[in-house]
Every structure is written in structure tokens, then in C-alpha cells.
Amino acid sequence: MRVGLLADSHDRLPALAALIARMQEGGVQMIVHAGDWCAPFAMQPVLDAQISLVGVFGRSDGDRGGLAAEAARGIGVELYDAPHSVEVAGTRILLTHDLSDSSSRSIESHGIVVHGATHVQDRSEQGGTLLVNPGEACGWLNGIPSAAILDLVTREVEFITLPGDQWRF
């Protein structure tokens, strides 16, 4: 199973919609989001795509009640406080916004950890645990919206970015 990985959307709907479309073209069946949506309206591209999602809140998610209400409008769209453990296709995934909010024991008890906060794409391993930061979906800090696609069977990570000057500032 291929899942899309997102973090740090920060209300940039056109970039979020474009990344989700790229993921769906790449065979993604669900999205995992590591927080920082910001406003409830940022959930709209997920609802429009009609794709399932599991995610956590980040530090910049001020209206968590509004975000949860928007998520509830979708089929298979769920948001949780971080860190949150979920099983997807037999794989235990730990979702957290800021990796420093999770203990080493918690990290190492999962096969995969998806995190955000730094706005930088990264793939690393800690023990037998795969750690992935998909980067910033918004592209506000680095100028290029980014995400990742993860194959849960092979554990291969494909980093994706949105090319073109329209995303730069």
C-alpha cells in the first residue's frame, strides 16, 4: 500500500490540492498528515479529493475544534492530538508534529514515524524505525511545496515537490 505523507500545510490550499493530486496519480490510497493545517478551511482540498486521511494537530493549529468539525465532514478523515499511534495495512505508524515530543521508547516501538515541524524533507532510521519528514506542503519557508509517498511494503520513500516559479516568492 502506498500512502501520502504531508505536514505543515499552513493554509496554502492550491499547493495542498496540487500535492494531493500528485499523490493520487502516484497510486496513494490514503494520506497521513503530521500537523500544522492552521485554519479549518485548509481541510477542503482533502474533502474535495475524497481521500481518507489520518493526521495529528500541530503547534499552529489554533482552532482544533473547527479543524475536527471539518474533518468529520469527510469519509475516513480523522484528526488526533499528537503523538498518535495508528495501524495502517499492518504497519504501526507514530504520527507527531514535533519529533522532540516523542520519547525514544515510543519511536522505537513503531515501524514508521511521520513528523513535521522543521519544514525540511528528511528520511532517517533509528534502530529499526523509519523516520520521515515530508517537508512543508505550504512551501512558505523554502519556496517549494513538498510532500512524500511511502510504500508500506518496501519502506521506500519518494519525495515530491511542486516544480515551477509559481510556488516561489
User: In which residue are the cell numbers 502516484 written?
Assistant: 26
Residue 166 clears pLDDT 90, i.e. is over it: no
Q: For residues 146 and 83, what is the distance between their CA atoms, to the nearest angstrom? A: 22
Model pLDDT, residue 169: 64
Percent helix, strand and coil across the chain, each to the nearest 5 = 25, 30, 45
Please provide residue 14's backbone torsions phi and psi, each rounded to the nearest 5 degrees. Answer: -60, -40
Domains of the chain: residue spans and CATH? 2-167 (3.60.21.10)
What does the pLDDT look like over 15-60, one tens digit per residue? 999 999 999 999 999 999 999 999 999 999 999 999 999 999 999 9
Distance of CA 135 to the CA centre of its chain: 9
Distance of CA 130 to the CA centre of its chain: 15
Model pLDDT, residue 2: 97
Residue 167 clears pLDDT 80, i.e. is over it: no
Model pLDDT, residue 75: 87
Q: For residues 120 and 146, what is the distance between their CA atoms, to the nearest angstrom? A: 9
The pTM of this model reads 0.95
What does the pLDDT look like over 104-153, one tens digit per residue? 888 889 999 999 999 999 999 998 999 999 999 999 988 899 999 999 99
Region 65-72: mean pLDDT is 94
Residue 74 clears pLDDT 70, i.e. is over it: yes
Region 74-103: mean pLDDT is 93
Region 71-84: mean pLDDT is 93
Nearest to 118 by CA among 138, 98, 139: 98
Is the CB of residue 13 less than 8 Å from the CB of residue 41?
yes
